[in-house]
Amino acid sequence: MVNEKMYALGSKRSAIREIFEYAKKRAAEIGRENVFDFSIGNPSVPAPACVDEAIEHILQETPSVELHGYTSAQGDKNCRDRIAENLRSRFGADISGDDLYLTCGAAASLTVSMHALVTPGTGAEILAFAPYFAEYKVFAESAGARFTPLPTEDGTFLPDFSVLEKAMNPAVAAVVVNSPNNPSGVVYKEETIERLAAFLRAREKEYGHPVYLITDEPYRELVYDEKTKVPFVPNYYDDTLVCYSYSKSLSLPGERIGYIAVSPRAADAKAVYAAVCGAGRALGFVCAPSLFQRVAAECDGKTSDLSVYKRNRDRLYNGLTSLGYTCVYPDGAFYLFVKSPEPDANAFCERARKYELLFVSGDDFGCPGYVRIAYCVSAEQIGRALPLFKALAAEYSLPPKP
Ligand code: PLP
């Protein structure tokens, strides 16, 4: 006998993983160079030099038993202090090492945070703005909450406050925001965060209990224009848990390292932090990888070479829109969220496969009628894919733009 829910989750891959696996199979059949895999957010830019330098000197300077031993469950104190110090200097944040819980990437940060905030059996609800990272539903439901996606403003993918207003109720334990956003690439400006914060503060007052904001931030540094700023949410809203990851900023998705920062200004910050520690314990996310805690502490705030993604974004965005595709301008992350030229985005993905163009349907992000194209690929892949996108556009008679 097995847990039916877990069986169902484990026996069906996510749509992204499904296409990623298909791409590998196809590459074995027809050659890697003939497959244009835009399915997964695996960074194509190597980790910055500071990562290898940190690994080298940590290996030389830290006794092996210490380096490869257990750290404190919530993460090594010295590493937490260093990351917090950096957050203070970068964002003027009121965060100390005692507010941080080091985890295995944003996925662990999110599931731990949701388990920390939700009491099963109480009808708790978690809201997120669509399009959203599909695993939110898995994490929220496994924590015992109902997951409610909220449609966003047409064309901009920004929160629609009239929708939020209708959905909001006293059972909402948390609202999840993800900016820069996967899959839309949209970045919430300060005015959006301020408006959201004011809305939630008013509701907290009305309900007489906190409503938490969970900010999912693996793409915090991945913005490409000088003018694009990513507000540090705890500076705007007290009841915030930041779920950060080094997977994308330092190109370290396989090393599984990130953190949760519980704002010390939260009404019951100490209790929330203790619940985070408890959820980490219950889920087995204790003592994040020791070597990479140290690497993160040294490299926090640095990034891999983002100019590569910027060039990819510009080339693909300009290329696709001039072919007649419609797409919101992506200020950050490394995805384009393109309107499907036919109502069924899955049918569009299928048609693209004829050209060996692989990307994922927006259905999987709670946003039917769109597809996500990940541009964390080589420039060469983009260059060779554009004529194929052109042939695909011709099938739909898309009107090219001058
Ligand atoms: N949240 C979002 C929006 C993501 O895109 C991802 C990964 O792609 C994650 C969370 C999980 O990231 P991690 O690899 O750090 O677990």
Contact in structure between 71 and 290 (CB atoms under 8 Å): yes
CA of 219 to the centre of ligand 1 (A): 9
Please tell me the distance from the alpha carbon of residue 326 to that of residue 320, in angstroms, as a whole number.
Answer: 8
Q: How far is the CA of 106 from the centre of ligand 1 (A)?
A: 5
Per-residue pLDDT of the chain (402 residues; tens, 9 = 90+): 999 999 998 887 778 888 988 999 999 999 999 999 999 999 999 999 999 999 999 999 999 999 999 999 999 999 999 999 999 999 999 999 999 999 999 999 999 999 999 999 999 999 999 999 999 999 999 999 999 999 999 889 999 999 999 999 999 999 999 999 999 999 999 999 999 999 999 999 999 999 999 999 999 999 999 899 999 999 999 999 999 999 999 999 999 999 999 999 999 999 999 999 999 999 999 999 999 999 999 999 999 999 999 999 999 999 999 999 999 999 999 999 999 999 999 999 999 999 999 999 999 899 999 999 999 999 999 999 999 999 999 999 999 887
pLDDT at 401: 85
Token pair 């929708």 in the structure block, residue: 163
H or E element, residue 106:
helix 105-117
Neighbours of 167 (CB within 10 A): 16
What secondary structure letter does DSSP report for 279? H
* Choice from 245, 246, 364, 365 to test ligand 1 binding pocket (greatest atom count within 8 A of CB): 245
Pocket test for ligand 1, best of 219, 222, 246, 248 (most atoms within 8 A of CB): 248
Contact partners, residue 77, CB within 8 Å, separation at least 6: 97
Ranges of H-type helices in 212-340: 269-283, 290-299, 307-322
| Ligand 1 centroid – CA 330 distance (Å) | 18
What sections of 118-170 are H helices per DSSP?
A: 135-142, 161-167
Handedness of CA 23, 378, 254, 145 (dihedral sign): negative
All residues at 6 or more sequence positions from 168 whose CB lies less than 8 Å from its CB, including other chains: 127, 199, 203, 211
Joined tokens for residue 75: 């993460």
Ligand 1 atom with the smallest distance to the CA of 258 is: 15
